[in-house]
Chain A
């Protein structure tokens, strides 16, 4: 197992918590004295920096949302004067003004460190040839991976996204063994290579460091098969730092969050209450070693859960479950928070492939009902009624044990669930 920074990645958890506590206190002090926005909020709550003495005090601090960042556009949440900022990135801003983030020289060094860890975690070494096909520019993907790969000492091909045929030609000629891009672009590269008559054996690709969008296990299998690689999920968002917040290791069982830089929490998106380990909810991050734009309890709207049990890779940092859904997709059925991704993962576990399903929620006699329509693929089908009925019961049972809800499961024919632009509609809520 290759670590980039064994001391920190495999740190004893008690020492790690002490470090987090120290850094949290410094961060709270920094935002209180340097960011009027946070100072006002804390004063309204009657909080002083010295009131945050333990990690458990974190829950008393206010949340930060994307809207809060937008309202302070462009530099309102920066904690240092612009003269200290050496780089500015921004989100695409498809809905209104972009969100802007600034990095000090120290932040860029930290980011490179975290991305070097992330790349090592996913199989890259200083001997790797890394093709960075994330977009370069205001988006944090390209430059984030780039600096980390240079820090690692790998040979970096800064090709950015697009021009796929040329990507593949260079990939072949330059002997690229690590591809860094979004999962959907990785699949597009695989399909284009096939069309060009280049098969995976002609490429030296070994690892894909893929992120910046949610993708399922079924999608992972397809990419791994088509490119002959191990595909690793990485997680990050520009508001926190960019890529390099969390990464899967080669065991692919959750993403290690670099806890010496970020404190994660899982909250109930409705009540905002902090949830215990293992519970599914909204992922919230506090940055504890950032100078340019420290963020307190940032609500990501991503759905995940946390797992503190030791990982066979030896890293001690907590693992977050692969993000499959957003809080925007959340349903409340009979008072239970339900994410379509939870049902999707149950179906994937049973069928072994990406399922097509539809959740139909209705209200009958003032009571919510949940019907789950599942398309019977060839991997689920049997010529025996008994086995199909067993399948039906199994799905019902798994949903009940995961959500505590009794759903009516109905097996339906393939392609009978309506698709728009190739993507299936997952939910019909008739209560609205």
Chain B
């Protein structure tokens, strides 16, 4: 039996499409409406509300919390002040990524870590000898993500003002009407947005309050299909789609280092010892073999391959999550793992793993497209991610 989230009593009646998707053993909405278009546009033009409760959440507290976390994750936790949030991956001893998530410093010695997969055992295994308690709060803590240009106005109108000046990747406790919550200015859309963490028993009430306050601002419940497009535009990777967690990889080749996933900026080699450090020092010296980049598929080229069969270009209506070969001069030089038509950029984009020899932005490659059952290749250009990065994402006001 799949489980339902603490918001299910609210999301179920709204899910007209009955399009439910599995997420970490829970059911969550794929889309609420019959098509996800409007949900997507809400993220970019008004505000979208996502139920992200299925995330795994761990609370880490104790005198050695910083020391412990610094041992596990690649970012420098000692530099994270209370009220700050870090995005970080963590690696195995070989420097290969196991998972990624956000780490919030709630208080001096209290942190909350989110993860896409269960990580309790890994955390416990790394804790011996340290004064730290690790609690799995996945079930007791529910979460909503409110994303889009109107997100601040909505939270502002429903809460005690604590959120107004909240900076990018900062957190605060707040009262949303009569509900006590933690708000982090984070999200998976690359837009202005917040994630709101609430005791599971208060979840339905929080949903009601936000939907009520958000009505005049165009708040729209949104599902995974819309989120998937937004996160590709934001260049944000997805576990099991864009990378295989190291401890689940059956063969060595499936594993990826942070450098290979475009997460080199999260690896703080000078912070002292941490799991995977020596392997990462070595990889940094050598340079990574692969790099994760954006691809922009050429419209003209796409038009050409479709015109040959008498059709206008057929664009994917939802984001795809398959492995698609990328070529240069007839030789395969990589593979794309996620792609979509970006409605806001009006471009066909993809995230691709490219061999370092072909990963320089500006490089011209070819991506495979299937046109009327035939494998064809369309021109594409290697670009930096994020594809879409609006100022409002980080803006103070």
Whether A and B are associated in the same complex: the answer reads no
Interface residues of A (CB under 8 A from B): none
Interface residues of B (CB under 8 A from A): none
